[in-house]
Amino acid sequence: ASRNTRVQFLPTHEQLSGRISPTSALPSLLAARYISSETENVHQPQQSTFTSGANQNATLEWEAADMDLRIRVLESAISFVPIHGWSRLSVEAACQANGLPSGLHTLAMPQGPIDLVLHFYASRNQRLADTMTEWNVTASPQTRTRRPSPEEVDEFLYRALKYRLEQNIPVLNEWPQALGLLALPSNLPSSVGLLAQLVDEIWAQAGDRSTDLKAASSMVRDGVVAFGNVTCNILRLSRRR
């Protein structure tokens, strides 16, 4: 896949919950694929017995299973980042802790450590989006049916940015390494895209519906500044602990 399309969707919080089970996350076909090439060959469909439609369905099932397994391995690896950093070692440790072959790191992060960083960034953005939706659903009927005031928008923005930044606390000491990876020229399209997506999602859920380009650019700038200010506050609080 090209670098511009490697982050194609954000997994839901439900997809990311739960411990990996060798029996549920690594079915026999996947085990054959990653453990033994000989066993893999046994499971190859024969052209004489399967139609092209069946082959296509099997391919889609494989791809879906691969994606689910990749997401689960990467999510499990996050807990090892404070020990091993944003590295292959974190993914290998996650595989070993869950009874999976350590060689799965080639599936989980084919582009290297940046895949682990992008997974964390994207999944926490999605977690925030789900949470903001819950905030809006549980808001009073009067709030949902009228345009929010500037003060209400500011309060929502601060609350959203604070929540999003709190998701970084478990890996706060390792976050400079993640920022370094995100800042590499080859990774900038993905990292800038995720930041723009984050700012746009927050503004949209805060009640903004502006289509003016000048206003939109101003909002993005303000959002990035606010993101930075809240980051500094959280860093100060963490150092006082």
- pLDDT score recorded for residue 54: 53
- pLDDT score recorded for residue 121: 96
Give yes or no for a contact between 20 and 100, defined as CB atoms under 8 angstroms apart: yes
- pLDDT score recorded for residue 52: 55
Q: What is the largest CA-CA distance in the chain?
A: 68
As a whole number of angstroms, the distance between CA 171 and CA 185 comes to 23
First to last CA, the chain: 43
Q: Give the helix/strand (H/E) hosting 237.
A: helix 213-240
- pLDDT score recorded for residue 34: 40
Q: Which SS3 state, helix, strand or coil, does residue 44 take?
A: coil
Q: What is the DSSP letter of 20?
A: -
- pLDDT score recorded for residue 7: 37
The parts of the chain modelled with pLDDT lower than 50 are: 1-50, 213
- pLDDT score recorded for residue 151: 87
Pull the structure tokens for residue 238: 């963490």
Which residue's entry shows tokens 């659903």? 137
